[in-house]
Amino acid sequence: MQRSLSQYCLAIIRSSLLTSSMAEALDAWEQVAGDASHTWPKHPPVSDDDSVFHQAAYRGDSVQLAMALEEIDYVDNDECLERCSPLHLAIQANQVEAVTVLLGAGADPEKVRWMQYGTSYQEATAIEAAAYFGSKEALVALADYGVEISDYALRLAASNDHVFCIQTIIQRWRKANRKNNLIIKAMRGALVYAAPRLCQKAIDVLLETVPGFPNPKSKADRHALTRAMLSMLAQFDESEGCQAVYTWDYNARTRPILETLIAAGARVDSRAFWASTHPGETKLVRLLLDNGLDVNDRRNFDQFYARDDPVESRPMILDVVNRADDDLSVLEDFLAKGASALTTDEELNTPLHNVLHASFVRLLLKHGADIDAKNQQGHTPLYAACASGRIEAAEELIAHGADVGEIIRDASWMYLTVPIIHTYPGPVPSSRFRLPTLLLSHGANIDAKSDDGTTLLYQAVQYLDLGLMRYLAEHGADVHTTTKEGGTILHLLCYSCNLVQTVNFARIITVLNYIIDLGVDLGARDSNGATALHGAVRDHECQGWSPDLFNALVQRGADINTRDASSQSRDGQSPAETLDMSKWKFEDGLLRAITVPPKPRTPSPHRGPPRGWSQGGSRVIHWRGGKARSTWT
């Protein structure tokens, strides 16, 4: 389990590690304790169970370290809590004297250790570990010893905002006469690591240290800056397998970094718009517009590589009109800068097909949007608004002359209400009534039937929406209607096994009683001769079945012995027999929960169970005083 900062420090104190160097380290830790981008070790790197050699290296105890070196055979022994060598422990604690002693004793600076980097583990050499931990003195000591500094070391320093380490690495490269183009190449990679972790100081240093970088005429430099910006907007860190490292928030911390990268030459195009997980955020879009965003650009965001030849995407305006905040300013700017209200995506959807607010509808129509435009599926903006539950937009479209008749001319209109029912499954605001009310008020047939004979009332029952059921019943819906298979709304309720497994039974019983109170016939049979009671037992005779629905039907008068046209037997099968034959499928005790016994039945003249019942019998007929009594066994 990961320890907190205070637990980590207490562990150090208990281990008597508070040397002067460690006290400085603790001060530094306190300063960055609130930094979400800082990665803390899961536990102290050494414990009392580790060897004296490892403990001395971490504490920086040169005397004890020298004594231990005389007794050990392998200076790079990694048998400690962190599975790393004494050299790496000394580097982590920034114990420069211990680092020097160990290097002199033959410690291998190229030996790697596994370090937790955010949510992943990565290998690091000694100098890379120094850059990662920000151990500046240890980094200098390793460089003085002649250890080569890799590009990866610069990336690790940048991704942890270790400014001194960044400067030291670049200075050492220049002192070693490393080619300038190689230094700049490493700095490009470091930018991509620093930006998604919001390392403002590291970015500033990288952009100011080497003259001529970044070069506004360099395609590679602009590509790196753009990639850093997109990585930040998309909330992923390439060093962590492209996983989110922070929660995006356009605030005082993120805005300066975006402005810095854009000012340095990051390309502002539609990739930046789509890279963000909140592409239509007003402040972000405003920043992009102010920095030259082409509103008609259709570049797509290639999440991992930010290539310069991305696949074409849909127009940005189609997302702008679908934002939750009713702010016209961004849409007005898009239209003012040349975005067309008639533009379409690959499926021929226009901005009106995607619009969320009534005010957006009015503005788009003012700029020439086609209220009757059809997409590839032949759907108009009104149909799209109804299908996705955008009621405010639908009402505004109708108010401006959208053709409602095209939607309600057949029974398919009722399926447009499903998103509304599904969004508001319980006793919630009247919003879910607005769409059915709207369409019914314009002439939609409340009893229109789909191909299988279901009506809107069936939709309400399927989603257990008692409020909508009441509304439809009060406005004249036929509660006795049946499907092509002869099923009533009561059949639908009792046969909806998939529904029952996910909903509280108390809610189902409430709906059941309401349907019966409407006058729906308990004994109504479908085309197979089955009643609702048959469905209550057949569709729920599996593990997890509850007898509540069965009991409620029987208590309201359903006949447990009514036979259907089942192929199970020549004379059909009753609900009682279905329970009896399927007893082995039930969980222990469920049958005993059935509160209503079956009607008395004349016993068979032969010994053993009656014909058609399960082998071994699960019902026993008792004779007492000439009366038959049936019990469950």
Cα 165 to Cα 135: distance, rounded to the nearest angstrom: 8
| Residue pair 145/109 in contact by the 8 Å Cβ criterion | yes
Residues 426-441: what's their mean pLDDT? Answer: 69
| Residue pair 512/521 in contact by the 8 Å Cβ criterion | no
Q: Determine the pLDDT at residue 303.
A: 47
In tens, the pLDDT along 2-58 reads: 334 334 333 433 343 334 444 444 444 344 333 444 343 444 677 888 889 999 999
In tens, the pLDDT along 587-621 reads: 555 666 666 555 555 554 444 444 443 333 333 32
Q: Determine the pLDDT at residue 586.
A: 59
Q: Determine the pLDDT at residue 77.
A: 86
Residues 427-449: what's their mean pLDDT? Answer: 77
pLDDT at 201 over 50: yes
Cα 328 to Cα 371: distance, rounded to the nearest angstrom: 19
The CA dihedral of 562, 566, 568, 573, to the nearest 10 degrees, is 0
Cα 511 to Cα 493: distance, rounded to the nearest angstrom: 8
Residues 139-167: what's their mean pLDDT? Answer: 96
Q: How distant, in Å, are the alpha carbons of 178, 251, 293, 473 from that of 255?
A: 34, 6, 16, 55
| Residue pair 568/606 in contact by the 8 Å Cβ criterion | no
Q: How distant, in Å, are the alpha carbons of 147, 153, 156, 354, 624 from that of 126?
A: 9, 10, 12, 55, 92
In tens, the pLDDT along 220-274 reads: 999 999 999 988 888 654 444 444 444 456 677 888 999 999 999 999 998 888 8
Grouping H, G, I as helix, E, B as strand and the rest as coil, residue 113 is strand
Query: Tokens 């004979």 label which residue?
Result: 453
Residues making up the chain, counted from first to last: 633
Sign of the Cα torsion 379, 383, 387, 390 reads positive
List of domains in the chain: 1-148 (1.25.40.20)
Closest CA to 64 of 111, 17, 113, 9: 17
Is pTM beyond 0.75? Reply is no
CA angle 412, 418, 423 (to 5 degrees): 160
Residues 187-196: what's their mean pLDDT? Answer: 95
Q: Determine the pLDDT at residue 50.
A: 84
Sign of the Cα torsion 369, 374, 377, 381 reads positive
